[in-house]
Amino acid sequence: MNKSALITGVTGQDGAYLAKLLLEKGYRVHGLVARRSTDTRWRLRELGIEREINYLDGDLADACSVQRALLKACPDEVYNLGAQSFVGSSWDQPVTTGIVDGLGVTHMLEAIRQFSPQSRFYQASTSEMFGLIQAERQDESTPFYPRSPYGVAKLYGHWITVNYRESFGLHASSGILFNHESPLRGIEFVTRKVTDAVARIKLGKQRELRLGNIDAKRDWGFAGDYVEAMWLMLQQEQADDYVVATGVTTTVRDMCRIAFEYVELNYEDHVVIDPAFFRPAEVEVLLGNPGKAERMLGWTPKTSLESLIRMMVDADLVRVAKE
């Protein structure tokens, strides 16, 4: 019998790539979808899988709807990717972020504990939990010091996952994913904001790109590579937590340079520093150590930052040209 998976956040970047991966492996895929007025399924359409998913109404903020979805899906595996995932918005919506990204994890874990304890659970943790970094390279033993309401809420979700694993014996793992991008990234995230602007400037539809702290350093990988690590975690005999990263850090400035040079432009002619985009508390450097994932899961990233940025610019050039 084919395995069944329930994905929260199935319409997001990671959810779409994960759904595609699981469908290719023969899974029956169920997606928890909160009702929204805007079109949320465009990523699934771009991957050609929109009609292959069984959609279930539900919201991580509503424990009853989470329980109903779990009972309908009867999943072998649950991937909790749903979240208010934009760091910048978490200062404007700290309570919503806390409810969805923190308590929402508890809603799902409690539903699994009560109704489906055999289901294996994956929690999407984040490198933003490290925040004000306590080690040059961050791994599973590095102390956390979140610097945003998003990071704080995600830290609650991370630790409640550990707690349910240790208290109730659930197969519950967390992936501490460093920044991962793709052509399906939301326009509010800096990498996609850059590649979209590069396409618009190249095609004469925009003249400048306004950014905040371009000297912040991030460990960027390809989301399509990272979802494979999620799946591998739930195939292990024992649940555990893993850092998923490339082990290479790059400034926003260098990322801009790569994107603009790809279309034969100089980023210095177009990037404008705007104080409005600086955050109340900045995370200056993130650099992951994926050694444990490499040893235990056999996982390594396949896509370089240069290849990733070019892939995103190409996709945005096509999108902007169609407008």
155 φ, ψ to 5°? Answer: -65, -40
Question: CA-to-CA distance for 233 and 237, rounded, in angstroms?
Answer: 9
Q: Of residues 27, 122, 128, 142, which has the active-site annotation?
A: 128
d(CA 214, CA 253): 5
126 catalytic per annotation: yes
How far apart, in whole angstroms, are the C-alpha atoms of residue 97 and residue 87?
9
Catalytic member of 17, 27, 79, 150: 150
Q: How far apart are CA 230 and CA 182, in angstroms?
A: 16
CA–CA dist 221, 303 (Å, integer): 7
Which 3 state secondary structure label does DSSP give 8? strand
Active-site option among 97, 126, 246, 249: 126
Q: Cβ distance 28 to 3 under 8 Å?
A: yes
Q: Residues 274, 212: contact at Cβ < 8 Å?
A: yes
Q: Is 128 known to be catalytic?
A: yes
Q: Decide the pairing of beta strands 250-251 and 217-218.
A: antiparallel
Tell me the one-letter amino acid at 145: Y
Under DSSP, is residue 243 helix (H, G, I), strand (E, B) or coil?
Answer: strand
Backbone angles phi, psi at 196, to 5 degrees: -65, -45
Catalytic residues: 126, 128, 150
